[in-house]
Chains A and B, each alone.
Chain A
């Protein structure tokens, strides 16, 4: 049984038909990526899975349980967290307070310090800036904070929306190294990226979206070799 199973979802923004029957699966311990251009429906797919919006038809299953209509704040307790597009850090809260909000769904406070140590080990920079107001962090540090905050919820499935957005190339590399590291320690990852090259280099499998539909599904390796993908998303003629 797949960890996450999305079956033929149709999502609308008002009258706009944003997702026209998306189906995908994510197996445990995989990194799966959704690639595609602007307006392809990548973010909408993640928002639908995370419960921020609900599809008009179709179903979403997480570990066999139907979560199509479950609101976002309950999904966190089931083990799904999302790092939203544009990072969504709480700019007026301190780094520590942001991380504490990440652990909001963890009633057992005894784990809190261990988890905090773990994310500080992953991102030593955050430890230095622990009591700094998050809005004053640099873009890269904010991405670290958003990722660290998501980890504080002890997710089994982490949805990441454009983690490379607005970052310098060297930072993009380190962000993706961290993603692989997080995955190795047992968190399944569904990753949305415009930077298809990097995404396909870390992912196991990928889906290519175009105007709300999946046009290609394959292993990351095969997608990298695919002529259409190379032309449209990798910039290889």
Chain B
């Protein structure tokens, strides 16, 4: 059967390939031309380019951490958890309330608030709170919105995910109010303050919040990667991802592994939320939506279901959307257009992503 199939489709596939190549060449030629004219015009000095690249890497690292949440769940259940952006948003709020509460506790010895007296402890507490709340949200999300639909066709849990996303957004709006809140960071983590690096006669600021975000993201991702690839527990997660029935025959409690996957995905989302708050400063009930979609794009770009893919995809997306508007000489408001154009292009030309694997029939 497969033989006749491939014979029938051999022609169209070749034509499609040729069209792909031609479009790619034209596209790259256009990009090169735009880039040349922009650089030639001298609108941006080397320091500006470096600034864009740094901010891209920092935002990209947050996208990567969120993307891992998508990819973990997809790897095990083959569903897109569209409510993951909201899981991140709730983590951001948890961190916000911890900072706010610590700011209001005076410490007599220093004459400052707890937040400014014990800054490292405060940051750790905020992250723990964000990760904990998001983990709890992730756990109940799976229990309430996805588990009852386990045997249903694949579209059904997707709709449930979108519903959960809207529900969580609105619940946050009603509970916390629609106003935008500014994250109250500890004194030495003020935004736009950092190390000054001289570049071509100008100064590029490497912000403390940015460095914290980037380093923490890498640490989280490496820890997760080791957990999944090197421990017996991670092995059991991969076994469940491959074949749930056989995994059960090994004595693995499949339902518990799925629950824990949502918890881990929530931990990553919560950490990303607090990082987002600390680095970007402003949070509100809608703050998870766009980063969520971007991270989903990053996961698809890297190859969904694949952890290193999510890391690489996030970084690439962050850098491209940060450098893109400048490189193409277009308005900076259009950076979201660049990000989502990438999603469309990847889905058309390489649905399996950069290092994605070819999906087996059973998964598709």
Contacts and interface: CB of A to CB of B under 8 A. Distances in A.
B248 A72 contact: yes
B243 A90 contact: yes
B254 interface: yes
Contacts of B248: 52, 71-73
A101 interface: yes
Nearest to A92: B242
A153 B236 CA distance: 15
A31 interface: no
A74 B249 CA distance: 9
A105 interface: yes
B253 A73 contact: yes
Given A73-B254, A101-B236, A104-B232, A90 B249 contact: no
Interface in B225-243: 232, 235-236, 238-239, 242-243
Interface in A27-72: 50, 52, 71-72
A104 B251 contact: yes
Contacts of B24: none
Contact of A84 (B238, B246, B252): B246
| Interface bin, chain B | 10 to 19
B246 A104 contact: no
Contact of A76 (B236, B239, B242, B250): B250
Interface in A142-163: 149, 153
Contact of A100 (B235, B253, B254): B235
Contacts of A50: 249
Given A71-B248, A76-B251, A81-B249, A91 B242 contact: yes
Interface residues of A, number: 25
A97 interface: yes
A92 B238 contact: yes
Nearest to A51: B248
Contact of B235 (A52, A89, A97): A97
B249 A52 contact: yes
Interface in A76-94: 76-77, 81-82, 84, 88-93
A102 B246 CA distance: 10
A50 B247 CA distance: 13
Interface in B205-247: 232, 235-236, 238-239, 242-243, 245-247
Given A93-B238, A93-B239, A101 B252 contact: yes
23 contacts: A71-B248, A72-B245, A72-B249, A73-B251, A73-B254, A76-B251, A82-B249, A84-B245, A88-B243, A88-B245, A88-B249, A93-B235, A93-B242, A97-B235, A97-B238, A100-B232, A101-B236, A101-B247, A101-B250, A101-B252, A104-B251, A105-B250, A105-B251
Given A73-B249, A90-B246, A101-B252, 15 more contacts: A73-B254, A74-B251, A82-B249, A84-B245, A84-B246, A88-B246, A93-B242, A97-B235, A97-B238, A101-B236, A101-B247, A104-B251, A104-B252, A105-B251, A149-B250
Interface of B: 232, 235-236, 238-239, 242-243, 245-254
Interface of A: 50, 52, 71-74, 76-77, 81-82, 84, 88-93, 97, 100-102, 104-105, 149, 153
